[in-house]
Copies of this chain bind each other. A is one copy, B any other.
Amino acid sequence: MAQGAPSPRQILKTTPLFAALDEAELASLADRCGIHSYSAGEVLFSEGERCKGLYIVVSGRVRIFKTSLNGREQVLALEGPGASVAELPVFDGGDYPASGAAVEKTEALFVSRADLRAICLEKPEVALKMLQVVGARLRRLVGIIEELSFTTVRHRLISWLIREGKAKGQKSDRGIVISLDASHQELAAQIGTVRELVSRNLARLQAQGFLEVNGREITILDSDGLEADLSSMV
């Protein structure tokens, strides 16, 4: 663990999932769960593997994704510090339905299936919290299905840009500036398409005057226009 990094105990204390536990319980859980460090790209668990337990992201980011036979990837979720990952196979004992890998240098706590079950049985509030977390995940998956089933790549790209703009865009006099920290490849995996289409659609949006693309810096010039485009696409 890095110098000055929080102890497992401190992390558990601030994890929403375990908010209901008291000091003693937290301490006992902290003793039983291991902390692991992953380098960028390293796999935490693979699709189809038997599920062993749940991870809690301490630092860094974890990418949950599916891989197709021909190598394409579809990202299902990106989780940062405090979030739990792979909660669900814990309770139905099956295999992981997708893979999880560290996007950047990442630390994560691992809580075993057995420990979790014990906690849920003893502190039902934890189980309820868990249901809430899983519920949120379900919502996001339904959203992905909706986008994949009903919309075009262009639409998904615009949605992504707007979301990203709201989340970490910098306001400037010309518009909202987004600095891409992901490659087009990665962006494509997130919106469910291939690199080339991301490139082409960005170019097209620029030609239409909605954006200005400068390497990995995208400036949204006309965000109202983009939003309008979304709803007009019937």
Contacts and interface: CB of A to CB of B under 8 A. Distances in A.
Interface in A83-118: 88-92, 94, 97-98, 117
B88 A135 contact: yes
B72 A150 contact: yes
Contact of A127 (B97, B124, B144): B124
B68 A149 contact: yes
A186 to B, nearest CB: 15
User: How often does this chain occur in the complex, in copies?
Assistant: 2
Contacts of A97: 138-139, 142-143
The 7 A-B residue pairs whose C-beta atoms are closest, nearest first, are A127-B127, A91-B131, A68-B150, A88-B135, A92-B135, A148-B148, A74-B149
Count class of interface residues, chain A: 35 or more
Interface in A114-145: 117, 120-122, 124-125, 127-128, 130-132, 134-139, 141-145
Interface in A138-160: 138-139, 141-146, 148-150
A8 interface: no
A167 interface: no
Given A74-B149, A88-B134, 12 more contacts: A66-B142, A68-B146, A74-B146, A90-B131, A91-B132, A92-B136, A117-B128, A121-B124, A131-B131, A134-B138, A141-B142, A144-B145
A234 interface: yes
Nearest to A133: B92
A124 B122 CA distance: 8
Residue in A76, A90, A131 whose Cβ sees the most chain B Cβ within 10 Å: A131
Nearest to A64: B142
Nearest to A98: B142
A131 B132 contact: no
